[in-house]
Chains A and B, each alone.
Chain A
Amino acid sequence: MNVEITGGRVVDPAQDLDRVTSVYVADGTIAALHEAPPRWRAERVIDAHGLVVAHGFVDLAARLREPGFEHKATLASELAAAAAGGVTGLACPPDTDPPLDEPGLVQMLKHRARVLNQAHVYPIGALSLGLAGHTLTEMSELAEAGCVAFSHADVPLPDTQMLFRALQYAGTFRHRVWLRPQDSHLARGGVAHDGEVATRLGLPGIPVSAETIALATIFALVRETGVGVHLCRISSASGVEMVRAAKAEGLPVTCDVDVHHLHLCDVDIGWFDPLANLMPPLRGTRDRAALRAGLADGTIDAACSDHAPVDDDDKQVPFGEAEPGATGLELLLPLMLKWAAEDKAPLSRAIAAIATRPAQILGVAPATLRSGSAADLAIFHPSEPWVVRRDTLRSQGKNTPFLGIELAGRVRYTLLAGQVVHEL
């Protein structure tokens, strides 16, 4: 179908583009920018005046809950949420049930996502069988089935010897390794950031050292093996500092931040609000400030939603018993726009953090609007206000610390390979 998108502010950090112009889509790809291709006839015209036209967002962490947790959410509901959030590509962690340690499961997931045709799903394979930390998975088979990287999800890192070997093996075949920097021993029993708030509330804490010790371990192994690692969900000022130093040293590492951590901190737990129970935990105000600065200066490469649909039953319990996580696919854009507006970062920086850079980290097709690229687009109003409510969220997960909060920025159209998969 020939789609013409007129008068929108087209922002593409990959080609330093930020101007009001038109986009021409044909056969699922971007046929041209600025001027219609020869003999152009539009079958659909999208009036994008007052809107921003960008590549669809690429979310580095979105749990789809299939297979195994279908009572929490399904592929259908969560991919619809992705489309509503302007997310055209997302990486799902391997902690499904069973975990993504077997090519058949990966193929099934990819197939089902293709059939639903709402967003591209990039499965992250398990680093070890069953995520048990003993036996390596058949990474080559899994890569062939469609895995773009390998991780241990939120399960504690395997022991250092196993981790060392996993890096060596993955490195042999140039597979990407993603790691969550959290030392399981120091984190044991903790439900909140170990600081003044946890002390006041009487909640067991997870100290910052749980992150810094894990980072130090990972950096030492990266130095030793030369294998690059993507670090998932930096949460502390010290963590940002360590990543900055590692990058300055020339280590092949990238990292992301959960977009919630840019805005919230441990004080937002308030009166034990289980909606603010996230993992890694929301840390202090200084940590939040460092995360924001890290995103601005590029130490932090990308922001993700860390989307986790959680059942009401698992949130309407005392804080320490609640399941951590929040629904985030539909909040990724407005929360990034909020950061950019508050910290006076250009819109292109925000889009780079949730589209351009994530696509590079995943090693998938570049998130760019150059002609010839796949027409995966997010067309959004940059300041339209909307209130986050259970009935305005498409995800089956209705639990977010932003419930009842008014945010600005709303996706009006999402195109996947030139097809409109969401419109308001």
Chain B
Amino acid sequence: MPRNPQLDRDGGLRHLITLEGLPAEVITRVLDTAEPFVSVAEREVKKVPLLRGKAVFNLFFENSTRTRTTFEIAAKRLSADVINLNIGASSTAKGETLLDTIDNLCAMNADIFVVRHSQSGAPHLIASHLDATGRSHVHVVNAGDGRHSHPTQGLLDLYTIRHYKRDFGGLVVAVVGDILHSRVARSLIHGLTTMRAAEVRVIAPRTLLPTRVEALGVRVASDMREGLRDCDVVVMLRLQSERMKGALLPSAGEYFKQYGLTQDKLALAKPDAIVMHPGPMNRGVEIDSAVADGARSVILPQVTFGIAVRMAVLSMIASP
């Protein structure tokens, strides 16, 4: 039961559920595998046959057009067959359990499940179930589970940082925003600490910081100016409008004043610092348009790298 369900006996990637506990060597292998895939996008025929004949089922229990689309593009570029499941309209709305849905789809010969779910732990449950029911040839890629993990986002963020900064070694990375609810933040923190980044800072009001977040290996800064000082990388997280209810924040306006990324706050970071955002952006809430569209923003390249990283993950997972 408790052994890491992501890795097979030879240490190869069987599922990708979380970056936590994933060896640096595996992460590096994903990033290296992704590199040549970046150029596939620039070709006329954007396909390689690595996943030909494989069926990738996009199982999104939580809405997401962007992530689902990038996974679809990645799978199709690998020549896989892609089936998108709109769960709202499907049997789950009629009360079918998650595991029954999985069993039914396995009966339709799924090879890879790309799963997004609002509950932390859903992909673990699926992976354990596949294990327990002897389906070791079926793989799970977590496209985001609750607050817990968004490993492909973490990997594409690492890829982006490596692309612009070469080494993780001396880097100071600031992650700004709703850390409490963010699977993107958790994944990036695990990735950066594994890859030995010098310092990871989290910048947020206390209502948006998880309990004992320092235990993840980060330094907390509640003052954004102090936290951004001499950073190499600034990662802005999206602020969801629901946070204004439930007494976590008073207003988007006050949030932008204290924690929004503007040119003058960015000036406190290193002169060559890059600005990242997992998207979609709330302009004027967490990030100023001038910064989002400015010279230091690498937000659009993140999307391109995201496809390549997902191609790498899918191809590594499905290979025998």
Contacts and interface: CB of A to CB of B under 8 A. Distances in A.
B124 A271 contact: yes
B97 A316 contact: yes
A94 interface: no
Given A271-B121, A272-B124, A313-B97, A202 B211 contact: no
Given A201-B120, A272-B125, A318 B98 contact: yes
A299 B205 CA distance: 39
B211 A320 contact: no
A200 interface: yes
Interface residues of A, number: 25
B213 to A, nearest CB: 6
Contact of B147 (A196, A202, A273, A317): A202
Interface in A267-285: 270-274
Contacts of B210: 198-199
Interface residues of B, number: 29
A195 interface: yes
Interface in B245-269: none
Contacts of A274: 125
A33 interface: no
A224 interface: no
B201 interface: no
Interface in B177-231: 183, 186, 210-213, 215-216
Contact of B120 (A195, A207, A272, A273): A272
Contact of A202 (B98, B129, B186, B215): B186
A202 B124 CA distance: 13
Given A202-B186, A271-B5, A318 B212 contact: no
B99 interface: yes
A404 B2 CA distance: 13
Nearest to B210: A199
B149 to A, nearest CB: 7
A204 B5 CA distance: 23
Contacts of A270: 1-2
B14 interface: no
B128 interface: yes
Interface in A387-411: 404
A202 B216 contact: no
A320 B120 contact: yes
B284 interface: no
B121 A318 contact: yes
A186 B120 CA distance: 20
A271 B119 contact: no
A274 B97 CA distance: 15
A141 interface: no
Contacts of B128: 271
B125 A194 contact: no
B125 A200 contact: no
B148 interface: yes
Given A196-B215, A199-B213, A202-B146, A321 B1 contact: no
Contacts of A195: 211-212
Contacts of A204: 147
B34 interface: no
Interface string A286-328: 0000000000000000000000000001001111110000000
Interface in A304-360: 313, 316-321
16 contacts: A194-B211, A196-B212, A199-B215, A200-B20, A202-B145, A202-B149, A203-B147, A271-B121, A272-B120, A273-B1, A316-B97, A316-B99, A317-B99, A318-B117, A318-B122, A319-B119
Interface of B: 1-2, 5, 20, 97-99, 117, 119-122, 124-125, 128-129, 145-149, 183, 186, 210-213, 215-216
Interface of A: 194-196, 198-205, 207, 270-274, 313, 316-321, 404
